[in-house]
Structure 1
Amino acid sequence: MIKQHRGATSTEWYGFAGWVTSWVSYALFLVWAYIPDEYLEAAGINVFPSKSWALIFPTWCCMLIVFLISAYESLCALVAVDALSSFTTVHDSFSRWPEDLGISDPWCGCEDSIPPLADLPAHMVSEALYGA
């Protein structure tokens, strides 16, 4: 049996109202930004912000979006990285340490060949990358 559609849901009404409100707000913004102050005052609109806000507000909003995205990505990266003393940085049975492969110095700088693939301890990588 096919269910009959009896009208729009509240979500559809709110979406439509938001869409109309957005376009009306954008149209009012463009009118305020491009029409000279003399015409607005002649139309009886005496209270309005400075025209410099026509550039400041969109620029501020764009930079806020850039900041929020970069802050979100930075915090996610900060949370995802475990501490050097964390249990997740301990080796397991599948780890291949340089000592087990007969490599005395992992930073040997072999010019003749590529050294065998080996895991490096987290503290050694941190020291090489960040000096800490």
Structure 2
Amino acid sequence: MTKDVSPTSPTTPLAPFPIQYKSRAPEFYGFVAWTSTSFLFVIYVLWALLPDEWIVWLGVEWYPNREWSILVPAWTIVVILLTYFIYFALALFGTPAFNQPRAISDSRSHFPKMPQSSSSEDTDINEPSLSSLYQAYAPFARPDAIPELYDIPIGMVNRVLYGKEKD
């Protein structure tokens, strides 16, 4: 038998709301996790604090040495701290130095094609001259131009903003 459910809208505020049946399994899993964690913590505290005679009186014949009640939490804290330290060290190791070009551009950078010049200005292959940079970006600086999307090299930005490098 199908139920006629009309959609709710501002014009019909009394339309029936569709009933959704949700599983209550997460509530039960959460309750079981909470109670089992609490129970294990109580057992741990009793093992760590009760005298040996009381534990034997409760019927427990064998249990680990008491020093493990201190060693396990201490080692756990050390492992957690080492994990943070290792992740921090790996992040520092993977970060390029400030004087490397990888720090400011990557393989996804999109630059216009540089004009071929045979002048003696281009002494460094990695660092083009200011005039060749201007020639590459000049067509996109016209007021009526719709520029293509390009990245601007940090060297050009620094030269325009701060002038030529001074000794």
TM-score by length of 2: 0.50
Task: Provide the aligned length of Structure 1 versus Structure 2.
Answer: 101
1:88 pairs, out of 69, 92, 105, with: 105
Partners of 1:13 and 1:77 in 2: how far apart? 43
CA contact (8 A) 1:33 1:54 kept: yes
Which 5+ residue runs of structure 1 have no aligned equivalent?
105-132
- Does 2:3 correspond to 1:12? no
The root-mean-square deviation of aligned C-alpha atoms, in Å, is 2.8
Alignment partner, residue 55 of structure 2: 40
Alignment partner, residue 74 of structure 1: 89
Instruction: Give the C-alpha shift of residue 85 in structure 1.
Output: 6.2
Q: 3-state DSSP class of the match of 2:157? A: coil
Partners of 1:75 and 1:14 in 2: how far apart? 36
Alignment partner, residue 100 of structure 1: 164
Alignment partner, residue 3 of structure 1: 19
Partners of 2:31 and 2:91 in 1: how far apart? 34
Fraction of identical pairs, as percent: 21
CA contact (8 A) 1:82 1:88 kept: no
Residues 2-46 of structure 1: CA deviation (Å, up to 9, x unaligned):
5355551x3332222111111111000001011111211122201
Question: What is the one-letter code of the residue matched to 2:157?
Answer: F
Partners of 1:66 and 1:54 in 2: how far apart? 19
Instruction: Give the C-alpha shift of residue 96 in structure 1.
Output: 4.0
Q: 3-state DSSP class of the match of 2:64? A: coil
Residues 52-74 of structure 1: CA deviation (Å, up to 9, x unaligned):
11111111111211111121222
Q: 3-state DSSP class of the match of 1:94? A: helix
Partners of 2:76 and 2:19 in 1: how far apart? 44
Tell me which structure has the larger Cα radius of gyration.
Answer: 2
Q: 3-state DSSP class of the match of 2:156? A: coil
CA contact (8 A) 1:33 1:51 kept: yes
